[in-house]
Chains A and B, each alone.
Chain A
């Protein structure tokens, strides 16, 4: 017998939250397939299967019940998110190795669902990026399904292209006409990014995620990109470019919002998102890697408890000052 109120039935469950996330990812995946072929689907299938398998093994080793934890959908979401960060033309074992690290090192060693301090998918991704830089940076060229003449060659992403071309002393104005840039931030990739945005808005509407992290991250990114771009648009890409390039929108709505590893207070989440946005820009602009979302998220994961500590909300009946720690 349930011992304590409330007794009203509840609608939400961990499973329903995860289902919503998957649903919100769907438009982006569809666009991805349309523009870059079915490679991503293969990655998703492999990563999901591997994640579920490793999750099951880890649960079994830890003597935990399999059914509730396999059916909660969290390993599924980790697998899909990891697959979405992999190049569609990467060898199959990349997804397997990534899943192993995501589930094993990113989640189960800390005690499984709810206890992981880091975003599991990002742990898997970063391990792969560091271990297998060649396979992890070979991206396909635009290859729409309606274009019957596929040339199956790899191409640089917009972020890569900008980085290498800037190093060759070309200005952004010159670069912006290149095929790799597309109309804004990478041929084809912009559309996928917009689809992520759509999915994100759906999750906001559904209440699956809260607005503070995506808003904070996009605001942080914009606020730092804007002055540099205004001062020197030949060297510094526009905020729009940063929004649509790389993993910004996927990160803002699907990765940074992973609740387990994020800050939990409302103000804390705003700050958490904003700092991720700033870091993404810093890493992209001055760091050693073309994209910075994964590193930024992992770095802020570390800071989340501290952020929580200093952003306690004002409780009813307390004055602001006494609520501060």
Chain B
């Protein structure tokens, strides 16, 4: 082993009360098979898996019961034998506290494995190529066991040369000891996994970083890795958050992962020891990931310890295995006390990312308390391992100034909780940061939408102006020509009109005029077609416009019906316009998204036809809407209807739109669930700030020149005023909840506005 063990350090961080020895008194125990397994389809980051078994089907241990859906996804395997009794939504352990689809298996106690594994075990994996290894890891359903649950095979396909593999054995959160015991008791399997991963990513060596409060783990790993000089065990200081990926990288290499980048950007790949072991077992023993080590601990657990538990085991079953509760728990957490999250109950399954179940006694953890104002003491800044300014972040997050939080590098925050831990005012800082991040993501989404809408709007505006201009020019030219014709009726040859292409070389000025008009129009149409890009709504609007233009032209033109020449011209033009607009009703109805590229005039016409149909749905409705008594309500209704119609027209064929709609629905659902829980002081504070801001914006936009926007603004102002009236009822949680919900709604509408206005 190299003597060169220079360690670096990350800034900030904390010494915490680790309380790990509670759960390390017993060796890891293999938990029995529970009577029922609940396997969520989404246990990893990315798309949920798709079930491939049916209710009533018998499954065996290790059998694939759900297949990955998309690239960032992994399969799920039955963790024991039994019968699938349900595929339905069940509560899962997730920050959101929501339910999600799960496969429920009633076990039969026989724990029967597949007769033959789904792939072949390999003794000497050094002969395997990287691709096979990755595929095996994927098929084994391995997702990062450290907590984030990112599909591991992706990190095995770096797509560039990797300098060093880092195994993150710095389990720095208090209470959790699953990695520690795994390293101490299964070091050889971890080292085996390291060797597989090195092989797969083609890295020359590996650093295993272990905190100095885990001497057993260090000794075991050193012994196991003694034969492989590529692998070094590095002892690092016990300091929270040493196990943060970025912090451990800094400690071991002295380098920093670039902001918003990945360790891979500096030639590093980081894995968790549990993941390494799972990789080993998948390759060497052809075992999919059906179990993991889980720490069951906390002041109310009779015998805190680590279990090797089947994925899907109900948490209360594991707690019973640990002797049950000695008293009712004050709080249940999944993960550690610094970064874990509260669980509503213990009737939730162990999933691939469940590293710890913490059942704390009342008073063991932080009591509920009101936060005091920030006194700007700077304790948070000193503790922040990322060198952010938590106090300023808090200030702006609280005020709803999310753009400022972003400028203060909010997105570099690793949510380690150091700042909140040292804050003498007991402000739930991390909660504010999470909230701000969520808001910014939502805003970004809305902004992207709004940008698209604005572009559509501007394109339309430009087109309208151009059309108007051209119509004027054409009319002027027509008049001039008619005058000229009358003047020189008999003798003179009228010179071709400027810009007109002499049609068929004819010297008939009328024909020339018609030709000129046609050419102009065609050119315009082509231009229109290409301007309409591939956006169906823009196309729809264009088509509607064109049709309308055509009909007005028609009526204009038919008035001077006694002039045959004018009539002829008008007719020609109308025909042309109709054709361009897709006039014939029997034009093929193709879905807008599939419209051919519009640089071809015919294609443009077809596209226009399709679009016209959409336009009927999208464009006409608001104009026809019966005038309600309240002009504001009317304006809003119209704008909303238009928006809804536009979305409708757009959605069916467009998966992106669908996804956004789904996300929006989800968000709405989430907000609906969280809003009543508005005794949450953070939500309340931010909601208040937002309501105020909305009111301000509403008044500010009064001078907008778009009547719809103005109407909405006015309505919003009214609403904000109502909210403002509601907010002084500060002490009443119901009133507060309502105010918060209202403010959120106002904010949403504010974000929608650009759409409505276009």
Contacts and interface: CB of A to CB of B under 8 A. Distances in A.
Q: Could you say which of A112, A259, A314 has the most chain B C-beta atoms within 10 Å of its C-beta? A: A259
A260 B375 contact: yes
Nearest to B335: A5
Given A8-B365, A264-B389, A17 B377 contact: yes
Contacts of A323: 409
A325 B360 CA distance: 44
A26 to B, nearest CB: 20
B125 interface: no
B195 to A, nearest CB: 30
Contacts of A265: 381, 389
Contacts of B424: 10, 12-14, 16-17
B426 A10 contact: yes
8 contacts: A5-B420, A6-B366, A6-B420, A7-B331, A7-B338, A7-B360, A10-B423, A210-B378
A134 interface: no
**Which 3 residue pairs spanning A and B have beta carbons closest together?**
A114-B373, A6-B417, A4-B431
A210 B434 contact: no
A308 interface: yes
Nearest to B358: A7
B740 to A, nearest CB: 14
B86 to A, nearest CB: 30
Q: Could you say which of B340, B378, B385 has the most chain A C-beta atoms within 10 Å of its C-beta? A: B378
Contact of A317 (B261, B378, B422): B261
Contact of B338 (A2, A8, A68, A113): A8
B374 interface: yes
A113 B174 CA distance: 33
B28 to A, nearest CB: 25
A17 B174 CA distance: 25
B675 interface: no
Interface string A291-322: 00000000000000000100011111110000
A312 B389 contact: yes
Contacts of A17: 375, 377, 424
A269 to B, nearest CB: 7
A310 to B, nearest CB: 13
B430 A264 contact: no
Interface string A1-31: 1111111111011101100000000000000
Interface string B372-394: 11111111011001111101100
A113 B425 CA distance: 11
Contact of B331 (A1, A14, A68, A260): A1
Nearest to A115: B373
A315 B388 contact: yes
B434 A4 contact: yes
A249 to B, nearest CB: 21
A266 interface: yes
Contacts of A318: 258-259, 409, 412
B298 to A, nearest CB: 11
Contact of B337 (A3, A5, A74, A207): A5
Nearest to B425: A14
Given A2-B331, A2-B342, 17 more contacts: A2-B366, A4-B428, A5-B415, A6-B337, A7-B366, A8-B16, A8-B174, A8-B365, A10-B421, A12-B422, A12-B423, A264-B381, A264-B391, A266-B382, A269-B378, A312-B389, A316-B10
A264 B394 CA distance: 13
Given A3-B428, A4-B434, A14-B424, A316 B372 contact: no
B435 to A, nearest CB: 9
Interface string B601-628: 0000000000000000000000000000
B152 to A, nearest CB: 23
A259 B412 contact: no
A247 interface: no
What's the interface size class on A, roughly?
A: 35 or more
A1 B368 contact: yes
A82 interface: no
A287 B391 CA distance: 36
B250 interface: yes
B265 to A, nearest CB: 10
Nearest to A12: B424
A8 B421 contact: yes
Nearest to B434: A4
A72 interface: yes
Contact of B385 (A210, A308, A316): A316
Contacts of A269: 378
A80 interface: no
Nearest to B11: A316
A6 B11 CA distance: 19
Contacts of A313: 381, 387-389
A264 B338 contact: no
A262 interface: yes
A6 B172 CA distance: 14
B697 to A, nearest CB: 24
A121 B251 CA distance: 44
Nearest to A1: B342
A207 B381 CA distance: 13
B584 interface: no
A14 B372 contact: yes
B366 A259 contact: no
A7 B337 contact: yes
Contact of B372 (A68, A207, A259): A68
B257 interface: yes
Interface string B345-369: 0000000000000001000111110
A5 B377 CA distance: 21
Given A4-B431, A7-B331, A7-B340, A316 B174 contact: no
B4 interface: no
A7 B359 CA distance: 12
A72 B331 contact: no
B430 A5 contact: yes
Interface string A45-79: 00000000000000000000000100010100000
A316 B340 CA distance: 23
B33 to A, nearest CB: 32
Nearest to B364: A9
Interface in A217-270: 259-260, 262, 264-266, 269
Nearest to A265: B389
Contact of B375 (A113, A314, A316): A113
A1 B341 CA distance: 12
Given A6-B339, A7-B366, A72 B333 contact: no
A114 B333 contact: no
B460 interface: no
Nearest to B431: A4
Nearest to A8: B337
Contact of B257 (A72, A260, A312, A317): A317
A319 to B, nearest CB: 9
Contacts of B257: 316-317
Contacts of B129: none
Contacts of B11: 316
Nearest to B372: A14
A9 B304 CA distance: 20
Nearest to B382: A210
Nearest to B259: A317
Interface in B406-420: 407-409, 412, 415, 417, 420
